[in-house]
Structure 1
Amino acid sequence: MAWLDWLVRTLALVPIALTVLPLWRTPKWWVRVWDYPRLQLAVWLAVMAVAELVLLELAPAGVVILVATLACLAWQLAQIWRYTRLAPRQVQDAVADGSDRMVSVLIANILQTNREAGRFLAEVRRHDPDLVLVVETDRWWQEQLAPLEPGYPHRVLHPLDNTYGMLLYSRLPLSEVTVQDRVSQDIPSISAKLRLPSGQLVNLHCVHPEPPQVDNDVEQRDAELLLVAEQVAQDRGPTIVCGDLNDVAWSHTTRLFQRISGLLDPRVGRGLYPTFHADYWFARWPLDHLFHDTCFRLVELRVLGHVGSDHFPVLVRLRFDPDAEQAQAPAQDEPSAADHEEARESIAEGFAAEREEQAEQAARPSPGGA
């Protein structure tokens, strides 16, 4: 039946096109957004491959589409297989020994319009982390999370009403705290020195750049992530980078971030651990991350329960272990000269995009103007 052939081929060509499109290295949001649903596209391609084998005649056109479908399926699986239990782990396991080298971090994009603060507070009390990083927080959320303050004497509170506010609560001492808009105006990040109970200082970076969305390409997001990567590489020493990166673990930018920074991803070899979208099981991918250097081993990595947000919180427990450095160092690829050049170009493009955006805003008539 001609109509059935047409339908199957059309349904196969869509995920083929969406697989090929992100190979175009462009910051356009409508391209970069297809970095996210690689698992969903892989499932779609697998279904279409079966449909083509069963329903299509293996004439030349049908063979071409089938080969393209299988090739795209293999490509998608190649991008995400590291985040399955089939791949070797990048970070070694450790046990919770109650030592003074332990640190736990809870990361949550709370959704600024969410009003179920009680559910989130209950989750924090249940898991009792050393650090709580909450993003998309305004003044209302700062007031609602005030009950955390007695247990977290070290705090960096930077609420904003633009969905990019950040609140950091720490049981462990913080020093050299900096809140800065690295690239985009009113898109802050937090940097600090975190002191473990053992006395060991850890470089801490908390980030929440903008996502790819309508009228918002990713130059600034990529620039911010790569600026952090370069700072990590320059500072060296024990480091944790965490937050809602608004990028998936398998994207080109995140992989470049890892190579430049030398940081490890505890998801590798363990699973996807998707944190977004909390309300749609069929459309989930990992946006909330914690990366760390080779001096840490992983005690626990867990996606927590629904707290009324479109993100699930994620909990990571680490143990500082300098002996792990040599064992885990080979797990990360060394950056090449081309990687450093690409990072410099991406950072320059991010600042240029921000200047252009600010110039456009300045040129707009003010409300109520003539």
Structure 2
Amino acid sequence: MLILLTLLSSVLLLLTLAPLSHCRYWWVRVWDFPRVQLLSIAVLLAVASSYYEFDSTLWVTCLQVITLGCAAYQLFWIYPYTPLARKQVEDAQPEWSGTTLKIMVSNVLTPNRHADKLLALVEQEKPDVLVAVETDQWWEDQLRPLEQHYPWVIRCPQDNLYGMHVYSRIAVRDAKIQYLVDKTIPSAHLLLVTQEGLEVSLHCLHPMPPSPTESDDSIDRDAELVMVGKSVEQREIPVIVTGDMNDVAWSRSTRLFLKVSGLLDPRRGRGMFSTFHASYPFLRWPLDHVFHSKAFVLKDLRRLPSIGSDHYPFYVELLYHPQQGAQQRKLSRTDDDEKLAKDVLNQVAGDEHHVHRPGE
């Protein structure tokens, strides 16, 4: 038993330390994802080593130090996404008035044939904007009834699991589909203009994840996030960036995105709202996101019911209230963050000026 605990603790230590490196190969970056799971395993191993009586108490103590150290390190990363942490985005109060925006993002899973579930969910929630990814021509045809109530539509059907459609009740201006780092991976960039005259720059992303079946490394995904992040940083109008980022909320690359963009994550201080994988509760983490500028505060944040996809839909309702929003704190940025962002862009010869800035 002691040999087994030693082996498992050694593997746990290796998987915990691996993401510390700047290596971007998928078999390293993938361990950014299951931090909750690794934390649970670390605690179980620490308890197991205490439960049994062994001859070598010093060795058992060493195992406990290793496992509890791993648990503490994993907790450090996920703690901001628990209700114990401070909220980054303020809760909207009933007396605050202003323009609201309801955003729903849904990775539909291309082979999924339950379009009726998504249509019913849209009818129930009535978002102002629906961002659907992994949509092909079949999905476009099935979602056509939405166009009765969502007259502004951006269509980009694809058969490679990276199609994208945006449906909006709000007027859309200056919309553009771009392929920022890969000619097969689209992103949508558009200007929302509300009836009150509020202009919001909306950017919808679905970068390729690091995985053995898609990309050998995380360079393209990280570069797309940095490009968009640096592009929206100096915008004078409010900004929302949303989509299936194929990256967890607590990863180094998402933190870098938040730092260079100055955007906020409404999950911080509220919970993880894990959206993937819908079929495996133990293998679940937050991949679908809505980030926004300080001009917004939060009215509602929910993970919605399953539509038959491997992702749950994600729903956010924001209130435009720049007076209260100005008090919110974005993540601080250092010179090292700037250097890292520059290094990421250099690897793909990317530039933030390549990103369409709607309304300019």
Give the TM-score of the pair, scaled to structure 1. Answer: 0.91
Structure 2 gap ranges (5+): 351-360
- The answer as to whether partners of 1:120 and 1:307 remain within 8 angstroms in 2 is yes
Within a 5 Å distance, the mapping from 1:76-91 to structure 2 comes to 76-91=74-89
In the TM superposition, residue 324 of structure 1 has moved relative to its aligned partner by 2.0
What residue in structure 2 maps to residue 323 of structure 1? 323
Within a 5 Å distance, the mapping from 1:1-370 to structure 2 comes to 4-55=1-52, 57=54, 58-95=56-93, 101-214=99-212, 215-328=215-328, 331-351=329-349
What is the rounded CA distance, in whole Å, between the counterparts of 2:332 and 2:96 in structure 1?
34
In the TM superposition, residue 197 of structure 1 has moved relative to its aligned partner by 2.6
In the TM superposition, residue 17 of structure 1 has moved relative to its aligned partner by 1.4
What is the rounded CA distance, in whole Å, between the counterparts of 1:256 and 1:225 in structure 2?
9
What residue in structure 2 maps to residue 361 of structure 1? none
- The answer as to whether partners of 1:187 and 1:208 remain within 8 angstroms in 2 is yes
Aligned structure 1 segments of 4 or more residues deviating by more than 3 angstroms? 56-60, 95-100
Q: Which digits, 9 at most, give the CA deviation of each residue in 1:261-286, with x for residues without a partner?
A: 00000000000100000000111000
What is the rounded CA distance, in whole Å, between the counterparts of 1:274 and 1:159 in structure 2?
26
The 3-state SS of whatever aligns with 2:2 is helix
What is the rounded CA distance, in whole Å, between the counterparts of 1:56 and 1:71 in structure 2?
21
- More divergent stretch after superposition (144-153 vs 5-14): 5-14
Letter in 2 for 1:200: L
Q: Which digits, 9 at most, give the CA deviation of each residue in 1:226-253, with x for residues without a partner?
A: 0000001132421100000000010000
In the TM superposition, residue 185 of structure 1 has moved relative to its aligned partner by 1.3
Structure 1 gap ranges (5+): 353-370
Q: Which digits, 9 at most, give the CA deviation of each residue in 1:314-370, with x for residues without a partner?
A: 110000001023211xx2223222211110110121349xxxxxxxxxxxxxxxxxx
In the TM superposition, residue 98 of structure 1 has moved relative to its aligned partner by 10
What is the rounded CA distance, in whole Å, between the counterparts of 1:60 and 1:181 in structure 2?
57
How many residues get paired?
347
In the TM superposition, residue 100 of structure 1 has moved relative to its aligned partner by 5.6
What is the rounded CA distance, in whole Å, between the counterparts of 2:53 and 2:86 in structure 1?
38
Letter in 2 for 1:160: Q
Structure with more of its chain in helix, by fraction: 1
What is the rounded CA distance, in whole Å, between the counterparts of 1:339 and 1:266 in structure 2?
22
- More divergent stretch after superposition (106-115 vs 95-104): 95-104
Give the TM-score of the pair, scaled to structure 2. Answer: 0.93
Aligned CA distance change for structure 1 residues 182 and 295 (closer, same or farther; 3 Å): same
What is the rounded CA distance, in whole Å, between the counterparts of 1:72 and 1:236 in structure 2?
42
